[in-house]
Structures are given as C-alpha cells and as structure tokens.
Amino acid sequence: MKKRESGVLLSISSLPGEYGIGDFGKEAYKFVDFLHHARQRYWQILPLGVTGYGDSPYQCISSFAGNPYFIDLDELVEKGYLSKEEILKEGFNSDSEKVDYGKQYHGKYRLLRLAYERGRGQLMSQLEAFYGENRSWLREFSLFMTIKDLQDNKAWQLWRGDLKNFNGRAVEEIEESEKDRVFFWVFTQYFFMKQWEQLKEYANSKGIKIIGDLPIYVSADSSDLWANPSLFKLDKNLEPTTVAGVPPDYFTATGQLWGNPVYDWNAVETDNYSFWIRRIRHSFKLYDTLRIDHFRGFESFWEVPAGSVDAVNGRWIKGPGINLFNRIREELGDLDIIAEDLGFQTDQVVKLINDTGFPGMKILQFAFDPEGDSDYLPHNHERNSVVYTGTHDNKTVRDWIDTAPEKERKFAIKYLKLDDREEGYNWGLIRGAWCSGAYLAIAQMQDFLDLGEESRMNTPATLGENWTWRVKKSDLNQKLSKRIADLTRTYRRG
C-alpha cells in the first residue's frame, strides 16, 4: 500500500527568475529546497514539451522533445557561449510575474542560436553522441523544426508537397544539406536533457519525486503526426477527418474543441502499440510518476468532424481499452501512473480504471453538491486515489469560493468548517485534501498563496492570458514552508 504523502503543483514556467520564464536555473533548485523544508514528497509539473501557437503545454510540437525556453541561460554564460549583457538586452525581466511568450520566442531562440554558433565546434562530438543515443525521436523532431524554419514556420500541412513525406527523398536531401540547422535543434535538446536530468537528480536526492504530465493527444502541427501519419485518422491530403474534444460539460456549454487529430486505434494496434510504448518509455526517463491526461479517452473518446466550430456535434468512439495498458505492462513492467479520469463517467470508464489499477483523481472544487453524496467529498475518497484542491484547469480556491453557487459555497463552509478570518478559506480546503483518505494530496501553489482569478493557469476553451502566471520569489519563504510542513505533519503525510 502506498504511503500517505503530499505535494505541490507548479509549472516550470511559473518559477521565478531573471529571464522572463521559469527555467532549470538556480530558482528551480531553490524551489526544491522549499519543498524539502515544507516536508513535501512530490513536485507535479505540466508537460515539458515545445509549445506552439497558443503556448499550451498540452499542444506540443513533439511528444518527446523538451521546451528550449526552460534552458538555464546562465550555464551558457559560464561556458562562454553568451554574455550577461546579451541576455539583458532582450528585456526578459520587464515583468517578473507574467510570461511574455512573444519575447521568449524571439529572444530566447535568438540567444540559443548565438550560443550554438559559438559552441558547436567545441560541442560537436557530444552533440553527435547525444543524437545517436536519441535518434529514434530526435531525428524526426530536428528535421521537422529545420524544415519548419525553411518553410517560413508554416504548419507542416502547408509545406511544399514533397516535404510532407517524412520518408521521402526531399527530406533526406535536407538532412544532408542542412546539417548545421538540424544540429541547432540537437543542441537545444542536449542542454534541455542535461539540465533537466541534473535538476531531477537533485530533487530525488532531497526525497522529492517528479510527477510529469502526458497529454493523450498530439498536436496537428507536430513531428509526431508528420512522421507517423498512418496512426491517425487523416484524409489523402494528410488533413484530419475528425478531431478531438469533449462534449458540453462543467467548463463550457458548447464543449471543448481541442482540434487534435484522433488516433486510428486499429492501426495503432496493428503496429503493436509501439508509438505509445515509446511515449511512455521516454516519459519515465523524465519523471518518477506520470499523470496521463484525459484518461477516459482510452475507453471512449469524443470525435468531432473536422471544420466544426464547436464540440457539440460529436460522437463517442471506442478506444483501445485495457489492451493498450496490458501491452505497456508487458513491455515496460509496472509503472507509477495516475489516471486523469475527470469528465463524463460511465461504468465502462470506471471498470477500465479499476482494471489498470491506476489511481484516479478527486477534485475538491467538484465535491460540494449540497443535495448529493459526491465521490469527490473527502469521506468517499478511496486510498488508491489522488486528491487535488484544483488542477491547472480549475479556478484557484480563492476564486472558486468567491464565485461558487451560494448553496455549494455554504455546504463547503459547513462540511469543512471553513473560517476565513482565522485559518483562511484556502487553508481550509487544503486541509480537506490533506486529511482525505487518498494516499496522495496535491494543491496548486496559487492555493497555498490564497491568490485569485489573476493567477489562474488556464481557462479551458480560451486563448489569451493562459499559461502566463509566475510565482514571486518573495512568496516562497520560510513562513509558508513551515505552515505547509505543520499541516503535512498533522495529517501524517510527511
């Protein structure tokens, strides 16, 4: 039986730091120390992939490559590839509490290209060795990004016709003639992986495990789709015939139209699930525990005709079910996986979760229907589950308390004996999670800080200010870590 433990949800991008976005530099190590002093055993992060339009870490350019925005530039200064003055000229530190992704896209890549030009001669043997070790995914990613550069950064479906074929001669010719461009992307992944492995090793040495996050789907504009089109439902022009989403739900009246291509699960099965096995194997090189997003989609998924303006007119299609996870277990053994089983539930979804043995998720913000006995109420939490005050898609606790329907709000206050003057509503809801019977309790950093709507990480089905929030360095102080540690000790999660 798993021990009672707890942790904090904070994206790498949300860490403090000098260069406009959280990264793998000194502030990440200080945050690990903060977690250690707070007696936490887990740090949950959001996906680490390369983001594209909309900046969502759930719409990545590759299932395997890491986001170059997270590379610690100070290491490149130490190696003599960059100067501090060159970094400061980019103006990253004009706003320390929000990520400006436009500045990251232009400024960070400009600096990384400059560092590559200066360091490639010294580093080439290491880069070639790294490329050889990771060729199974790095070749398709680095070629994809190289051609994207050459095609004015257009989505790959809009490239010149012969470049759409990953296995074609035109792609091979670019691989031969544009080695320098290709190896710039190898350079970014070399430093990403090197720095991440060092940070993870430090966290593990402090008794802290990393929970990573794997989106179920891949992006339409991704090296995954470009290199593996036969595994997805595409037409003869390699355009999706149907796309992913969810039907109308708690978040939106018209559902969520994600727009990702959906898998042709018959083709995936015929390929012996090798794409998914590669994804899972790679994920466990990066993380100790893996949360798989939208897990119910493996039982059945909501499929919407391509070109739809919303997700209302979709239909449920059967997924691979337990067969996929039996195959993963055969190949990789027993793995520490958390199933994000939120959304529309059926007996079949519940059975799939039970058959896998993976813990599901309980969200306290969904619990307080005054007329019902919700599975999300703490007295109903089974041991093999993970309880959250809220996820990156939820309001913060403060915002939820301020905006929840009055009956739900009153029931939450009564059920948890919340008191905003002495304890604070946010701490009361965190207490509700920490005293739960679930083996693992997680809260967003925003909730520990009692922050409101301005710090929400993501509002589903919207574009704009999502994914931009950053924590202030001064907020990660000894007073807060002691209070978290005391709560954790009280409920025997330390």
Active site residues: 293, 340, 393
Count of all residues that appear for the chain in the document = 494
13 contacts 99 by C-beta, under 8 angstroms: yes
Q: Which residues share a beta bridge with 214? A: 292
* Residue whose C-alpha is closest to residue 328's, from 280, 287, 295, 289: 280
Q: What is the Cα–Cα distance from 400 to 259, expressed in whole angstroms?
A: 28
| Coil, strand or helix at 255 | coil
Within 10 angstroms of residue 299's Cβ, the number of other Cβ atoms is: 22
Q: What is the Cα–Cα distance from 208 to 43, expressed in whole angstroms?
A: 7
Residue type, 52: G
* Residue whose C-alpha is closest to residue 274's, from 229, 331, 316, 215: 331
| Coil, strand or helix at 73 | helix
* Residue whose C-alpha is closest to residue 278's, from 401, 138, 177, 146: 138
Residue type, 5: E
**How far is residue 262 from each of residues 162, 258, 268, 388, measured CA to CA in Å?**
24, 10, 11, 28
| Coil, strand or helix at 8 | strand
Distance of CA 2 to the CA centre of its chain: 24
Q: What is the Cα–Cα distance from 1 to 94, expressed in whole angstroms?
A: 48
* DSSP summary character for residue 51: B
